């Protein structure tokens, strides 16, 4: 006897595990054709601590944020001149556990709110390297400045013309990251002690305050 038996029910699982619906990502990357059609725009990448706001190592309290003098007016001028504005910041404190991603998100929201209230300006993006450097101080990832990963990735995502863009920061690591990405750079620092050690660390312009930064970037013949 070989009685007929119904086939076993189709399994919903396979070797790779059960099927799952893929949700559309909130921030979908544009596909190549869309990206090509997008007009390329210039941007100014802004370091956060010591450049955009007073440097307070390890601070995660939005109430303690203080924009540096002149930063609000400078950003408003750069935005009206057509520059997209993006923050690019190293936050090794995340890897070291000094603050959590949630705390940092609150800080970021506070900064974006303060900027918007002061200038009406909205940041195009807020780029964060959450990794710690290697024990010898060298970057252990592709995004910690002086590596250019944050800038290059943002350029791809937003259609930014890096050759027409600038990186503004208070350290030579900012300058190097900007140059490695193909941008021009302004070193915003009144400290003349940190002499550039390589051509990549030589800023296209030095500024002592935010008014100088704007003057350099908006000048028809920027300093070289
Ligand atoms: Zn990183």
What is the CATH number for 162? 3.40.50.1000
Q: How far is the CA of 202 from the centre of ligand 1 (A)?
A: 23
Strands, E assignment, the chain: 13-14, 17-18, 43-46, 84-90, 125-129, 166-169, 184-188, 205-207
Q: What pLDDT is stored for residue 20 in this prediction? A: 32
* Within-domain flag for 30: no
Give per-residue pLDDT as tens, 115-129: 999 889 999 999 999
Q: How far is the CA of 118 from the centre of ligand 1 (A)?
A: 30
Q: What mean pLDDT value characterizes the chain? A: 83
* Within-domain flag for 31: no
- Bridge-based pairing of strands 84-90 and 205-207 is unpaired
Range of the domain at 149: 41-218
Q: What pLDDT is stored for residue 9 in this prediction? A: 42
* Within-domain flag for 26: no
Q: What pLDDT is stored for residue 177 in this prediction? A: 97
Just list the catalytic residues: 47, 49
> Which one is predicted more confidently, 167 or 61?
167
Query: Mean per-residue pLDDT for 180-192?
Result: 91
Q: What pLDDT is stored for residue 192 in this prediction? A: 61
Q: How far is the CA of 163 from the centre of ligand 1 (A)?
A: 23
Give per-residue pLDDT as tens, 68-110: 999 999 999 999 999 999 999 999 999 999 999 999 999 999 9
Query: Mean per-residue pLDDT for 50-68?
Result: 88
Could you give the number of structural domains in the chain?
1
Helices H / strands E in the chain, number of each: 7, 8
Q: How far is the CA of 131 from the centre of ligand 1 (A)?
A: 5
Q: How far is the CA of 139 from the centre of ligand 1 (A)?
A: 8
* Within-domain flag for 3: no
């Amino acid at each position: 006897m070989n009685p007929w038996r119904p086939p076993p029910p189709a399994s919903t699982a396979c070797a790779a595990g059960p099927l799952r619906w893929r949700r559309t990502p909130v921030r979908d990357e544009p596909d190549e054709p869309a990206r090509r059609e997008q007009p390329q725009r210039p941007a100014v990448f802004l370091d956060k601590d010591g450049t955009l706001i007073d440097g307070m190592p390890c601070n995660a309290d939005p109430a303690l944020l203080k924009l540096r003098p002149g930063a609000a007016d400078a950003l408003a001028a750069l935005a009206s001149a057509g520059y997209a504005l993006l923050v690019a910041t190293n936050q090794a404190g995340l890897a070291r556990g000094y603050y959590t991603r949630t705390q940092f998100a609150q800080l970021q929201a506070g900064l974006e709110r303060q900027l918007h209230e002061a200038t009406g300006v909205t940041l195009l993006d807020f780029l964060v390297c959450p990794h710690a450097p290697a024990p010898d101080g060298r970057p252990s990832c592709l995004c910690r400045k002086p590596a250019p990963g944050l800038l290059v990735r943002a350029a791809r995502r937003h259609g930014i013309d890096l050759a027409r863009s600038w990186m503004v920061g208070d350290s030579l690591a900012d300058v190097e990251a900007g140059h490695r990405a193909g941008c021009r750079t302004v070193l915003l620092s009144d400290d003349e002690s940190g002499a550039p050690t390589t051509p990549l660390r030589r800023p296209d312009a030095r500024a002592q305050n935010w008014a100088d930064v704007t003057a350099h970037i908006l000048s028809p013949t920027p300093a070289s």
